[in-house]
Amino acid sequence: MPPTDRYAVELDFARAIASEAAEIARSRCDRVRPQEKENLSYVTDLDHDLERLIRDRLASRFPDDVLTGEEYENAGGSGPRRWSIDPIDGTGNLVHGLPVWAVSIGLIDDGVPAVGVIALPPLGELYWATLGGGSWRDGQPIRCSPDRDDFHDQDNVCVGTNALREIDPRTVVGRLRDLGSCCAELAWVSCGRLVAVCHLGERAHDLAAGAVIASEAGCRFGTLDGRELSPAELIASTPIRVPTFTAPPRRLKALMARTKRLP
């Protein structure tokens, strides 16, 4: 992180909160109490408790900022900045004992994703980025996969469940994955574990932190209908209504050109 990073204070505070939340999540993940929401997705007591904790910490430190998240209504101040919180992204995985879930805290400054922190408690990993400050994992800089104009059959390409129901998987080259946590997927495309990801239906809290981390790691965003998006445009288009890819620039163009909708 550059010493003159304009978001250094916000980043340090968000990392501290995410680390605190991750410790709590690790200590409680084996005894959560799930309930079904109206959309039949799961929410647990841990989701609620962590979001309240994160909101309380942010409200105390940045009282002028708007607070948004998955489980509660907007709160906080009325300034141009808003924090977007996903206390547990991948709650279904958590409930079923699959160790792929995340805590996500993102700051959107006047519409532009500016700070992103993603903790992966099952792995003990912490990812972060600031606008113009690069992307990092546990203090080491990260970059996306080397860029090229095509895909290898063994490249890991992650396509979320909703997107898999719209795109024709036969038109996507590589080993298709669906990991069940948008935030984990964005963290892993940022460090090269995944070559590309595709999402549909995600909301701002799913993408706010990951948009900064992925873009600072060298990824770009584009839709199945041919539109390339800046990080701000990505957040403005939430909930995502068209299958949207995150990948290194040339890989992104290849995906956008080759991938087709289901007939």
Relative to beta strand 42-44, strand 75-76 is unpaired
Does 1 have pLDDT greater than 50? no
Annotated binding residues, written as ranges, equal 70, 86, 88-89, 206
**In the block, residue with structure tokens 């079904």:** 36
DSSP secondary structure letter of residue 6: T
Q: Is the pLDDT of residue 5 over 90?
A: no
H-helix segments, the chain? 8-28, 45-61, 91-95, 161-164, 182-190, 204-216, 231-236, 249-258
Dump the DSSP string for 77-142.
--SSEEEEEEEEETHHHHHTT-S--EEEEEEEETTEEEEEEEEETTTTEEEEEETTS-EEETTEE-
Is the Cα torsion angle 13, 90, 96, 71 positive or negative in sign? Answer: positive
Quote the CA–CA distance of 64 and 155 in Å, as a whole number: 44
pLDDT on residue 39: 72
Confidence of residue 33 (pLDDT cuts 50, 70, 90): confident
Average pLDDT over residues 7-32: 96
What pLDDT sits at residue 140? 98
Q: What is the mean pLDDT of the chain?
A: 95
Residue 96: CB partners within 8 Å, gap ≥ 6?
A: none
* In contact, 26 and 14? CB cutoff 8 Å: no
pLDDT of the residue at 182: 97
Inform me whether the pLDDT recorded for 2 exceeds 60. no
- What sign has the CA pseudo-torsion 142, 70, 54, 64? positive
156, containing H or E segment:
strand 156-159
The pLDDT tens digits for 173-205 are 999 999 999 999 999 999 999 999 999 999 999
Examine residue 239 and say whether the peptide bond preceding it is cis (omega within 30 degrees of 0): yes
- Over residues 139-176, the pLDDT tens digits come to 999 999 999 999 999 999 999 999 999 999 999 999 99
User: Residues 42-55: pLDDT tens digits?
Assistant: 889 999 999 999 99
Summarised one tens digit per residue, pLDDT across range 93-129 is 999 999 999 999 999 999 999 999 999 999 999 999 9
Distance (Å) of CA 168 to CA 139, 201, 258, 263:
39, 17, 10, 8
- 232 contact partners, CB below 8 Å, separation of at least 6: 111, 112, 113
Burial per residue of 77-97, b for 16 or more beta-carbon CB atoms within 10 angstroms, e otherwise: eeeebbbbbbbbbbbbbbbee
Contact 196, 251 (CB under 8 A): yes
If you average pLDDT over residues 212-235, what whole number do you get? 98
Cα gap 104→110, rounded to integer Å: 19
Known binding-site residue numbers for Mg(2+) = 70, 86, 88-89, 206
Res 11 pLDDT > 70: yes
Q: How far apart are CA 186 and CA 214, in angstroms?
A: 6
pLDDT at 3 exceeding the cut of 60: no
| Closest by CA position to 235, among listed 72, 115, 87, 59 | 115
Domains in the chain, please, with CATH?
Answer: 8-141 (3.30.540.10), 156-258 (3.40.190.80)
pLDDT at 70: 86
CA 201 to CA 219: how far, in whole Å? 20
- Structure confidence at residue 40 as a pLDDT band (50, 70, 90): low
